[in-house]
Amino acid sequence: MTDLRLRGVSKSFGEVTALRDVSLDVADGEFFTLVGPSGCGKTTTLRAIAGFETPDAGSVAFGDREMAGVAPEDRDVGVVFQNYALFPHMTVAENVAYGLRFREVPGGGSREERVAELLELVDLAGFGDREPDELSGGQRQRVALARALAPGPEVLLLDEPMSALDARLRQRLRTQVRAIQSELAITTVYVTHDQEEALAISDRVAVMNGGRVEQVGAPEAVYRRPATRFVAEFLGDNNVFTGEVDGGAVRVGASRFRVAGLDAPDGAPVTLCVRPEHLAVGDATNAFEATVETVEFLGEAFRASLDWDGREVTLRVPERPEARRLTVGFEPDDAHVVSVDGREPAVRRVEE
């Protein structure tokens, strides 16, 4: 079993703290994604797993093997970088075969067979004699993946592998990567800043911000029940309201909202969020009146920006709102409390 365990990992670069007390568990064969804005520490976390960075504190373990002091070449990781990092002076086949110079060929066949097998796996059979600069971006990325997988690593690490590609190709390739990962059942850590990508392909995601892990969970759970205001706003659009508890409801401005499962004393300040797609035009259990500022057509829906007494509210509706002033409502089940008394649990695991 190759599960991956990070405990209390911290790392600073000079004055800049990149990681603060990061603890994570990745299960054997799991597709685990680190997502967050640039500078959040996701890449540093990946590099600490690969052995390219030495943590200032904390530990990294693969199964029961502690990784402290183990050089990158001794960790049995496969790494794919954003810019492919193919060796330009080697052919595609030589690139894929490079790792086999140092390790036994998995399955016991010849190197040539292994290279052919891997190129087949990434749909590049027959490309072995090409030079890397004869390939398109997507093909190069698949060669990089084949090269990383060829020695049969225990852990696959992908550092923003798609971000240099255009949107359509990215979608196709991520489906392919996920399929290959499932087929090999290899423990995988994927780093991306693209929240949509993270939600689309992961078994679980860890949302990072400012060198900390804000929340770990399955995509739906993290999306529906964000643990912090940051997570609520980072994953998709969200409307965040601050108010205070008043007789079992939350008072925001002049309105009182009923919220499912609210558990806080009267007077406590509360932050809650409602997804734009959960707001509807018309009366509901919770409702308020707001002014339409702008409307954008998104294809499958409309996105309206409203002004509610100085608060910005985003609404996602199937029909273009015609009136300038709208009554907007939502049900108690669709509101989610992210903090009470200004305290957010540092890491709240939400498992479904």
Q: Which of residues 89-128 bind other proteins (CB under 8 A)?
A: 89, 98-99, 101-104, 106-108
Binding mask 177-216 for other proteins (x = CB under 8 A): ----------------------------------------
Told to check if 236 binds other proteins by CB under 8 A, we report no
Told to check if 72 binds other proteins by CB under 8 A, we report yes
Told to check if 73 binds other proteins by CB under 8 A, we report yes
Told to check if 75 binds other proteins by CB under 8 A, we report yes
Q: Among 87, 113, 126, 129, which residue sits at the site for other proteins (rule: CB under 8 A)?
A: 87
Contact 76, 154 (CB under 8 A): yes
Residue partners of 41: CB distance under 8 A and separation at least 6: 11, 18, 19, 20, 22, 208, 210, 211, 212
Nearer to other proteins, 146 or 245 (CB): 146
Whole-angstrom Cα distance, residue 49 to residue 77? 9
Binding mask 32-51 for other proteins (x = CB under 8 A): ------------------xx
Nearer to other proteins, 158 or 232 (CB): 158
Give the nearest distance from C-beta 104 to other proteins in angstroms: 5
B/e letters for 130-149, b = 16+ CB within 10 Å, e = fewer, are eebeebebbbbbbbbbbbbb
* β-bridge pairing 311-317 and 302-308: antiparallel
* β-bridge pairing 286-297 and 302-308: antiparallel
Told to check if 217 binds other proteins by CB under 8 A, we report no
Told to check if 152 binds other proteins by CB under 8 A, we report yes
Contact 325, 344 (CB under 8 A): no
Burial zone of 255 (CB within 10 Å; 0-12 exposed, 13-18 middle, 19+ buried): middle
Contact 34, 189 (CB under 8 A): yes
Q: Among 147, 212, 229, 278, which residue sits at the site for other proteins (rule: CB under 8 A)?
A: 147
Order across the sheet with 4-13: list the strands.
16-26, 4-13, 57-62, 65-66
Whole-angstrom Cα distance, residue 92 to residue 90? 7
Told to check if 81 binds other proteins by CB under 8 A, we report yes
Give the nearest distance from C-beta 107 to other proteins in angstroms: 6
Which chain residues interact with other proteins by CB under 8 A?
1-2, 50-52, 62-63, 71-79, 81-83, 85, 87-89, 98-99, 101-104, 106-108, 144, 147-148, 150-154, 157
